[in-house]
Amino acid sequence: MKELQSFDKIYLSIREILEKARHSAARAINFEMVNAYWNIGKAIIEEEQKGKQRAEYGCLLLKELAKAIKRIRERL
């Protein structure tokens, strides 16, 4: 009976460690993805505006980027 209690204790400890690690990894991944999307948006805006206060809408850049990203997603 004592062996079972010891097993349960170590099992729950290991389980808690793994759950904390998974949660921490998910938070880190989410942070990095938000950061990546922010940087992508910044790069697009900088290219579209080319130093101007406002972009000239209807430019080809966004249409071509959308097509290229769609092709990438189709390959995944």
Mean pLDDT by 10 residues, the chain (76 residues): 82 96 97 95 84 69 85 87
Interatomic CA distance for residues 26 and 28, integer angstroms = 5
Domain range summary for the chain, segments of one domain joined by + = 2-75
Residue type, 4: L
Q: Which residues contact 55 (CB under 8 A, 6 or more apart)?
A: 45, 48, 49
Q: Which residues contact 44 (CB under 8 A, 6 or more apart)?
A: 61, 62, 65
Interatomic CA distance for residues 72 and 21, integer angstroms = 31
DSSP 54: S
pLDDT at 20: 97
pLDDT at 25: 97
pLDDT at 58: 59
For tokens 């390959």, name the residue: 75
